[in-house]
Amino acid sequence: MKLSILLVDDEPNIRRFLGNALIKRDYSVETAVSAEEALEILRLRAVDLMILDISLPGMDGLSALEKINAMDDPPLVIMITAFGDVKSAVRAMKLGAHDYITKPFEIPEMELAVSRAGEIITLRRQVDALKRQTPPDQFGEMLGKSVLMQEVFSDLAKIARSPSTTVLITGESGTGKELAARAVHNHSARSQGPFVALNCTAIQETLLESELFGYERGAFTDAKESKRGLFEVAHTGSLFLDEIGDMSIKLQAKLLRVLEERRIRRLGGQKEILIDVRVIAATHRDLHQEIKQGRFREDLFFRLAVVPLHMPRLRDRQNDIPVLVKKFINQFCQQLDKAVMEISPEAMAALMNYPWPGNIRELRNLIERVVILEDSPVLTLRELPPEIAGRSIGSVAASEGEGSNFRKLKSNMVAQFEKEFVANLLHRTKGNVSRSAREAGMERGAFQRLMSRHNLHSDDFRHEDN
């Protein structure tokens, strides 16, 4: 899609020469001789970028800029200022101008400024395209429109139809394994029964057995009264055992026996108690490696993994990030009785470009912290921590050296974001250009141009796992 530009200047030569130069660069250019004429054009149709002279007959450019930025969908504005008019330039930036150029200027200088503005507009279009897509699909408390999450939702629905099958959920910490377990329970015939969760790393090994199986009075020194274990508590429902990979070999053997016989015996007890429980286990560990190292029983693995389910990393489902950000902002603003914060396209682009080693949990914690600490109505790059807001900038700055300037770094940051964004999509879709473009909310031709700009080839991604 061509970048649409409205050039506003009362000097015919500037309108003619600059307008022709921009048209040759394949921009769509319209001109106006006054601020009043420009505002009338904006009321009739939207444009992407305005080049606006400060010194105009009638309404001046600064007054026009105030009116433009009060509109619902204002364009980016590059101001043209007189040489040495620093005060006007500073005021223009405070009023929301994207950039400014001083007269007299060379055509290449303006073309470069327009090109940089165009990169920002492209990022905004990508984010807006994600926002305009149909409402996000949801399963339980999980949100996701990505292909990966759609596959997870499909598997969860199938698993839920089976009321007793054991499930093993794998994935990095923070990917939502417990939410997946709750979704299985809540969509199954066991939904009226209890959902009981236990983190196997949160309890000392000596206490874990009594937590699971319970104990009779007098079973040990502090056993003043009998107590039901979590298998009994979860009767007719589901028992979620998180971080099952950290359970001791001794307790693994007892768990295997329970899964096979569907009965337990309390510590210090003689009576066997029948249980009706679906067991859902989860781990961030590679259990195949744990088996090779002798830390996990192979027979228990096969008993748990009747239906395996893997939760994808957040960095592998980038286009779900805007949906999750909006959800968390709304959630925490409501809890704190604050007006819902907006988020700038640049901040959203930074969030989408960050690798999220802590996955959804890290994103949720970040948004909670920002909502608590910040009073700004708009979440911008300034409100994000430097490791996120400055990730691309910092890495580029380090490589460019001390002689780099702001504009160059900004241009390189945008280029790096584009390349990483496109490469990640192609990796996930195994080089399928049409599907990648669809996930990015872009036309196929525009996506191919981005690939070409960054020397990315679909064939490289089709065979990368071979």
User: Whole-angstrom Cα distance, residue 21 to residue 185?
Assistant: 63
pTM of the model: 0.58
- Nearest 5°: the CA angle 20, 21, 26 is 90
**φ, ψ for residue 60, nearest 5 deg:** -80, 170
**CA 455 → CA 21, 36, 452, distances in Å?**
27, 44, 5
374 pLDDT band, cuts 50/70/90, is: confident
Looking at the predicted structure, is the pLDDT value of residue 352 above 80? Answer: yes
pLDDT of residue 102: 87
- Nearest 5°: the CA angle 322, 323, 325 is 65
199 and 287 within one domain: yes
Partners of 49 in the β-ladder: 5, 76
CB 27 within 8 A of CB 3: yes
Q: Is 267 left (phi over 0), alpha (psi -120 to 50) or beta?
A: beta
pLDDT of residue 406: 62
245 and 222 within one domain: yes
pLDDT of residue 129: 61
Tokens (6 digits) for 179 = 């939410």
User: Whole-angstrom Cα distance, residue 427 to residue 169?
Assistant: 23
CB 209 within 8 A of CB 251: yes
Partners of 265 in the β-ladder: 272
Under 8 Å CB-to-CB from 98, ≥6 apart: which residues? 76, 77, 78, 117, 120
Q: Return the minimum-mean-pLDDT range out of 50-54, 59-63, 118-122, 340-344.
A: 118-122
Give 158-214 pLDDT, tens digit per residue: 998 887 889 999 999 999 999 999 999 998 888 889 999 999 988 887 789 899 998
413 pLDDT band, cuts 50/70/90, is: low
Position with higher pLDDT, 138 vs 281: 281
Tokens (6 digits) for 273 = 């108690």
Picking from 263, 295, 312, the residue at the C-terminal end of a domain is 312
Tokens (6 digits) for 335 = 């809890």
CATH number at residue 443: 1.10.8.60
- Nearest 5°: the CA angle 165, 167, 168 is 160
**Mean pLDDT, range 345-356, rounded to an integer:** 88
Tokens (6 digits) for 367 = 């948004």
pLDDT of residue 128: 61
Looking at the predicted structure, is the pLDDT value of residue 409 above 70? Answer: no
Picking from 132, 153, 171, the residue at the C-terminal end of a domain is 132
Looking at the predicted structure, is the pLDDT value of residue 393 above 60? Answer: no
300 and 216 within one domain: yes
93 and 59 within one domain: yes
203 and 304 within one domain: yes
CATH number at residue 146: 3.40.50.300
204 and 89 within one domain: no
Looking at the predicted structure, is the pLDDT value of residue 284 above 90? Answer: yes
Give 52-104 pLDDT, tens digit per residue: 999 899 999 999 998 998 887 789 999 998 877 778 888 888 888 888 898 88
Instruction: Give me the amino acid identity at 284.
Output: H
How many domains does the chain fold into?
Answer: 3
241 and 337 within one domain: no
CATH number at residue 47: 3.40.50.2300
**Mean pLDDT, range 327-348, rounded to an integer:** 90
Domain that holds residue 85: 4-132
355 and 280 within one domain: no
Picking from 285, 312, 339, the residue at the C-terminal end of a domain is 312
User: Whole-angstrom Cα distance, residue 115 to residue 215?
Assistant: 72
455 and 414 within one domain: yes
297 and 390 within one domain: no
362 and 281 within one domain: no
CB 413 within 8 A of CB 396: yes
273 and 165 within one domain: yes
Give 135-155 pLDDT, tens digit per residue: 447 888 899 888 899 899 989
User: Whole-angstrom Cα distance, residue 395 to residue 400?
Assistant: 9
Looking at the predicted structure, is the pLDDT value of residue 463 above 80? Answer: no
Looking at the predicted structure, is the pLDDT value of residue 22 above 50? Answer: yes
